[in-house]
Structure 1
Amino acid sequence: MTTINERLRLDGKKIYVTGGAQGLGKSMAQGLAEAGADIAIVDIQLEKAQETAKEIAESTGRNVIAVKADVTSPEDVDKMIKTIVTKLGGLDVAFNNAGMVINTPATETSFEQWQKVINLNLNGIFLTAQAAGKYMIEHGGGSIVNTASMSAHIVNRPQPQASYNASKAGVIQLSKSLAIEWAKKGVRVNTISPGYMATDLTLNSEALKPLIKIWNDWAPMERMGKPEELQGIAVYLASDTSSFATGADFQIDGAFTAW
């Protein structure tokens, strides 16, 4: 029988992280590599993805590559999977993390803005999960982790973001549906729902500084989460330890949604 430490190791696993060049994706990729996995940093910003891949490879000694892809393009996603499988030698775990938010009142949201958010946050998740799922079903199974948000469970305030909230709720229901379809095919599908996280992009935004104080005042822990505080759940869901976990949503939000 293997020990818990052995089951949490990711040695030999091939993993990709979309939106992995910065923010939460970068932090999760770092943690996954530290646990022994080879990583593909997938991002629309190739140069930034290359910088991140180099940084993680140097700090962990793992094989880390950069792949450019528009996850809203079926052709790009298919090419992405083929590139990752060729360069890493397979695909065991998929972290579909790319996303965006536009804060506008619903009455002022243009249809183009609505489509942009839904296209990346929901269609992009479907396309990448579908492509990864097809490969995994044909090659003995795997684990898919889709990034949702606590915004799938609550309506954030004071910022208006109906399109984002709707898209993230869709991610959870989509993931549960895929988990049921693929349960007997060896493919697990789960979601992570982070709360407010202190990424560099968030902390350095002048527009968000007034909101950060409000968020922290309302948070039970009176602070935002640190990106590295998602690494534990990322490693768990990528590892063999989580072999019975599928169709679940893991809220990592410092009890923000527990009010």
Structure 2
Amino acid sequence: MLNKFDLTGNTALVTGGARGIGLQIALTLHQAGATIILTDADINRLAEASERFATKPAIYQLDVTDSQAIRDLAGKIKCPDILVNNAGVSRAAPTSQTSDEEWRVVMSVNLDGVFYCCRAFGSLMAERGSGSIVNISSMCGEVTTRQQSVVTAYNASKAGVNMVTKTLACEWARSGVRVNAVAPGFVWSEMTDKYPEDVIKAWCDQTPMGRLAHPEEIASAVHFLASDAASYMTGTIMLVDGGYTSC
């Protein structure tokens, strides 16, 4: 059974992989035996991140909002066995104060980027007859959090990611491609570090497990869905939220 978690011989492409959850996902998949392709919009951070791997990954600067750049990369490299769409941003502001530009930035990165990458790489996987895609969603694609209810664009984008995941899972199921998503709750990261201490405390108080997740805990869920241990799972939105959405 444990052999099903072994990713030796597989190549995994991770977007937004230069820091935080994305970097931890890449490190975890590498530890499980995968060869890593790391992409991010920040080439300097990519170079720094690559030093943390036992075997340096291939690194590519990639803006996931640029559909042509994604097509170009897909034409340049061998189609990966695993695709993790992790790149994401958030903007916290009351809806009345959210500008058109802020709305588009969030939707472009979080939703358009997932679709563009799935279209480019998932189509190649379907032609080949195998592949596993794991999209990074959020529990905010399922529920509106009580302490942080001013992220309309973020919540809408993640709900969109969930539906893209389910739709592609059905479309490609008989082509040998599985498409799933991990929906984290509150996680310690650069994104959450910017919030005040009282907000962090409220998140912990509202989470049944009483704490935020560590990036490694999200990465473990991605590893499972990417591996043969989840061979009969597709279209799943796996919540990793410390029980938040259960209450």
Give me the TM-score of the superposition, normalised by structure 1: 0.91
Aligned to 2:51, the other structure's residue is in SS state: helix
* 1:220 to partner: Cα distance: 0.6
CA distance in 1, matches of 2:163, 2:37: 26
- Aligned partner (choices 120, 123, 134) of residue 131 of structure 1: 120
- Aligned partner (choices 79, 85, 94) of residue 96 of structure 1: 85
1:8 lines up with 2:12 in the alignment: no
In structure 1, the residue matched to 2:20 is 23
1:193 lines up with 2:186 in the alignment: no
Q: Map of 1:148-163 to 2, 5 A cutoff? A: 148-159=137-148, 160-163=150-153
In structure 2, the residue matched to 1:45 is 42
User: Aligned pair in 2 of structure 1 residues 50, 83: CA closer, same or farther (>3 Å)?
Assistant: farther
* 1:258 to partner: Cα distance: 0.7
Tell me the amino acid that sits aligned with residue 143 of structure 2. I
In structure 1, the residue matched to 2:100 is 111
* 1:199 to partner: Cα distance: 1.8
CA distance in 2, matches of 1:154, 1:7: 33
* 1:243 to partner: Cα distance: 1.1
In structure 2, the residue matched to 1:223 is 211
1:211 lines up with 2:199 in the alignment: yes
* 1:224 to partner: Cα distance: 0.2
CA distance in 2, matches of 1:208, 1:246: 37
Aligned to 2:91, the other structure's residue is in SS state: coil
User: Aligned pair in 2 of structure 1 residues 210, 84: CA closer, same or farther (>3 Å)?
Assistant: farther
In structure 2, the residue matched to 1:54 is 51
In structure 1, the residue matched to 2:174 is 184
Tell me the amino acid that sits aligned with residue 181 of structure 2. T
For structure 1, the residue ranges without an aligned partner over 5 or more in a row are: none
CA distance in 2, matches of 1:71, 1:48: 16
In structure 2, the residue matched to 1:258 is 246
Alignment check: 8 A CA contact 1:8 1:236 kept: yes
Aligned to 1:251, the other structure's residue is in SS state: strand
After superposition, the C-alpha distances for 1:101-156 in whole angstroms (9 at most, x for unaligned) are 10010111111111111111111110001111111112221001111100011112
* 1:186 to partner: Cα distance: 0.8
Alignment check: 8 A CA contact 2:166 2:236 kept: yes
* 1:79 to partner: Cα distance: 1.9
Aligned to 1:10, the other structure's residue is in SS state: coil
Aligned-pair identity (%): 37
* 1:210 to partner: Cα distance: 2.6
Alignment check: 8 A CA contact 1:40 1:84 kept: no
CA distance in 2, matches of 1:73, 1:27: 24
* 1:201 to partner: Cα distance: 4.7
Alignment check: 8 A CA contact 2:21 2:219 kept: no
Aligned CA RMSD, in angstroms, stands at 1.3
Aligned to 1:55, the other structure's residue is in SS state: coil
Number of aligned residue pairs:
246
Tell me the amino acid that sits aligned with residue 133 of structure 1. G
In structure 1, the residue matched to 2:130 is 141
In structure 2, the residue matched to 1:243 is 231
